[in-house]
A and B are shown apart, each in its own frame.
Chain A
Amino acid sequence: MKQYSENNFEQCTKCTVCTTYCPVAAVNPLYPGPKHSGPDGERLRLKSPQFFDESLNMCLNCKRCEVACPSDVRIGDIIQSARIKYSAKKPGLREFTLANTDLVGSVATLAAPVVNATLGLKPVRHIVEGVMNIDHRRIFPKYAFGTFEGWMRKQRKAQAKFAKQVAYFHGCYVNYNNPPLGQAFVKVLNALGYGVQLLENEKCCGVALISNGFINKATKQAKSNLESIRKATSKGLDVVATSSTCTFTLRDEYEHLLGLENGDVRDNIDLACRYIYNLLSDGNNTLKFNPEAPRIKVAYHSPCHLERLGWTHYSIELLKLIPNVELVKLDSQCCGIAGTYGFKKENYATSQAIGESLFTAIEASGCDLVATDCETCKWQIEMSTTKKVLHPIEILASFLL
């Protein structure tokens, strides 16, 4: 069908399938759902911006509406673009703190033990709730003492020895909270004969800036990242990320929400699990697994943005290649946290209600641990269940000989 609008809302047939699969509409009767907020509302907003409704801020940008849509309407993009264009709500201190993951991270990692201990204290969490409207029940991710980038600088010579190279987009989470995931990625790539290098100047992908309304800063960082990515691809390097949301943001949100042209490098930006799966399936690469490793049962949770990328099966198939892993695929559903959404006091109840059936399924699965490609899903599941959550790459690395 011919498209006349900036986005493709006129392809909507009003079938309501999107609203049927919206995790927010399912638990929060106040949210009108993606059809109403997206294509229906867009028709009116084109006439007058006064038809913008602040209920669009209830959307957690999981994009499950887009995965469900039989007509290829980018419903989630329509809603996010409308928020960017029309929302009168200006971001405050809370949004600034949650959105600037790299700024906050670089300060926190300098004093990680103190920050972790302080944020773990109940009275502090109540003060944070009072001052910032961040729910006191929400548990903050722990900060690492020293960044991943710092560790990588010491690896430069060793990594440069490999003939084949990839550039790693580690993301804020690996850099400030979980350097061991980045180290696991390096270990697996090295085992495949690839050296790992950093981008010339990696900035936060900007997903939290976009969702918290800091569009100018997000655009600035995105431009900088694209410049670094272009420098890498021009040297023949692929850019690989462990985080499904970073990957999704770099590939899709830059173009769809920030209007930045990334078509020249999009095919070179890949997700770690998919990249490694494809290396292993081309017949020239193998990994040697430790035959004496203990047998474990792993439950795989599909993050929303990975569903939207369409690549969940690469992570699943990669885990299935590990001889001593028994894999259970959990029904694909949103865990409820959606990055910074679940941290906000007004969203906490919705966030936990969305995830409830997932938490029950995880406990019932009898798994030893949960695997997922998304760091915020990990925080949510670790906070809400008794299970530890690892990235598939961490599991893969731990089984290598």
Chain B
Amino acid sequence: MRFDTVIIGGGLSALVCGIELARNGKRVAVVAKGHSSLHFSSGSFGLYNAEHPLKAIAELAPTHPYSKIGVERVEALAAKATEILNVAGVSTNGTIEANHYIMTPTGALRPCWLSLEGTVTAASDKSLDFKSAAILYPEGFLDFYTQFVSDELQGLGVNTSLHSFALPELSIRRNNPTEMRSVAVARALDKEENILALANIISHKTGDAEVVIMPSVLGFVKSDVQSRLEKISGKRILTVPTLPPSVEGIKVERALRTTFERMGGVIFNGQTVVSYAKEENVVATVTTDKYVTLTAEEFVLSAGSFIGGGLESDRNSIVEPVFGVDVAAPQGEFTTRDIFEPQPFMSAGVVTDNSFKALCGGTPIDNLYACGAILSGFNGVKEGCGAGVAMVTALEVAENILNK
């Protein structure tokens, strides 16, 4: 099957790149090996962990993906990423100039560039804009740490109270206690009778706290459950992300996939690119493990890092398994003993030139670009820049392809 561009990977970076190309008239295919790591994300986006991200980005090493783009273009592309999220119906708060803070599933406040509407956020990590909170959680739900959240809130001077609720449908789920998960709760809360029952619980059983804090499980398909609960109960409701699977992350992926397909993009689900054909220095076709051969002018390698399968490793080496392009791996040990320290393997990835063409034996391949987590030179966890690098490099690659 013939396309203008084939993108290998189906995560944040791949979909943002695909949307930008498709809305500029390109016929684009995405090859997705299962669903993406957005399912394990909070649904919020980081650009860089620093009070003023752009100032910090300007100081980064030349091998960092942001440095290849330059701070001015990073700023412009980050704005475009926000616009694309908006087009996809993902409404966010936040600015490029200064980070704000979001609450993690364990209650800690962490810097953030774009956060989703209705989540617990703060302008600084020292205070919140409410003084009392009722923490409300479904009975038997294990992926939300109420006591941690409560302790952190109290440390920030917020009075807290804990309340649980049960719904008949959720009580049945508890027959399989390990499967009482965020998505199951969120699905139950898509139903009108459960929305009304929960609104009643919020109205009558959460005291007179300023805000009601709940895990992010408010509707799986429906997007207005939180606002409806607020309207019926008359209370301000805020959410905190849960442990995976992340309902908000899933909603972001779904919104991006739908937008991409609406713009004419094609997604090949549940398959992995296993081989390719090259003519001179140009990739001609790729073939998947489902025997689907795709021909294109341009190819984008956006298959993620180790979890996504974009990178593979054994004890001695790290490789990119499809094209065998150059990978920058740590010189010494791949890991350090302290799990909370930045792990050297996390900065490993594909080496590109400044236009993000992947290098093979030191030479760029003319029509093979790389973007997102597969790139080398950054540590998404330590730098809090995984989402930023994913979207900014995706848009830089899209622009390079469109300008060809």
Contacts and interface: CB of A to CB of B under 8 A. Distances in A.
B355 interface: no
Nearest to A266: B291
Given A16-B245, A19-B183, A72-B33, A310 B176 contact: no
Interface string A1-31: 0000000000001011101110001100110
B181 A307 contact: no
A396 interface: no
Contacts of A13: 307
Nearest first, the 9 closest Cβ-Cβ pairs linking A and B are: A310-B290, A67-B270, A70-B34, A32-B176, A29-B172, A310-B271, A69-B34, A20-B183, A29-B173
A66 B270 contact: yes
B206 interface: no
B290 A21 contact: no
A223 interface: no
A309 interface: yes
B149 to A, nearest CB: 22
Interface string A295-321: 000000000000111110110010000
Given A15-B40, A20-B183, A32-B179, 14 more contacts: A15-B244, A15-B245, A16-B183, A29-B172, A29-B173, A36-B179, A40-B178, A267-B291, A281-B2, A309-B290, A310-B270, A310-B271, A310-B292, A313-B1
25 contacts: A15-B245, A16-B181, A16-B244, A17-B34, A20-B39, A20-B183, A29-B169, A29-B175, A30-B175, A36-B179, A67-B269, A69-B270, A70-B35, A70-B307, A70-B308, A70-B309, A72-B34, A267-B291, A281-B2, A308-B270, A310-B269, A310-B271, A313-B1, A313-B266, A329-B261
B393 interface: no
Interface in B232-247: 244-245
A25 B176 CA distance: 11
B36 interface: yes
A332 interface: yes
Nearest to A316: B266
Interface string B150-184: 00000000000000000001101101101101011
Contacts of A310: 268-271, 288, 290-292
A71 B261 CA distance: 24
B187 interface: yes
Nearest to A73: B34
A313 B264 CA distance: 13
A152 interface: no
Contacts of A281: 1-2
Q: How large is the interface on B (under 10, 10 to 19, 20 to 34, 35 or more residues)?
A: 35 or more
Interface of B: 1-2, 33-37, 39-40, 169-170, 172-173, 175-176, 178-179, 181, 183-184, 187, 244-245, 250, 261, 266, 268-272, 288, 290-292, 307-309
A77 to B, nearest CB: 14
A199 B324 CA distance: 43
Contact of A17 (B2, B245, B269, B291): B245
A72 B250 contact: no
Contact of B269 (A25, A30, A307): A307
A119 interface: no
B250 to A, nearest CB: 7
Contacts of B179: 19, 25, 32-33, 35-36
B159 to A, nearest CB: 34
A327 interface: no
B272 A72 contact: yes
B290 A332 contact: no
Contacts of B272: 72
A379 B187 CA distance: 28
B38 to A, nearest CB: 10
B269 A311 contact: no
A13 B308 CA distance: 12
B396 to A, nearest CB: 25
A67 B1 contact: no
Nearest to A28: B172
Interface string A318-354: 0000000000010010000000000000000000000
A310 B33 CA distance: 11
A267 B290 CA distance: 10
Given A29-B172, A310-B268, A311-B290, A68 B250 contact: no
Contact of A29 (B184, B245, B288): B184
A68 to B, nearest CB: 5
B39 A30 contact: no
A14 B377 CA distance: 29
A170 to B, nearest CB: 23
B291 A30 contact: no
Interface in A25-61: 25-26, 29-30, 32-33, 35-36, 40
B35 A21 contact: yes
Nearest to B180: A29
A225 B350 CA distance: 47
Contacts of B288: 310
Contacts of B34: 17, 67-72
Contacts of B169: 29
A20 B245 contact: yes
A68 B250 CA distance: 12
Contacts of A311: 290, 292
Most buried by A among B170, B179, B244, B250: B179
A94 to B, nearest CB: 27
Contacts of A67: 34, 269-270
Contacts of A21: 35
Contacts of B291: 267, 310
Most buried by B among A71, A308, A310: A310
A248 to B, nearest CB: 11
Contacts of A26: 187
B268 A307 contact: no
A274 to B, nearest CB: 9
A68 B32 CA distance: 9
Nearest to B266: A313
B269 A19 contact: no
Most buried by B among A33, A36, A307, A314: A33
B122 to A, nearest CB: 29
Contacts of A317: 1
Contacts of B183: 16, 19-20
B401 to A, nearest CB: 22
A313 B245 contact: no
A72 B272 CA distance: 9
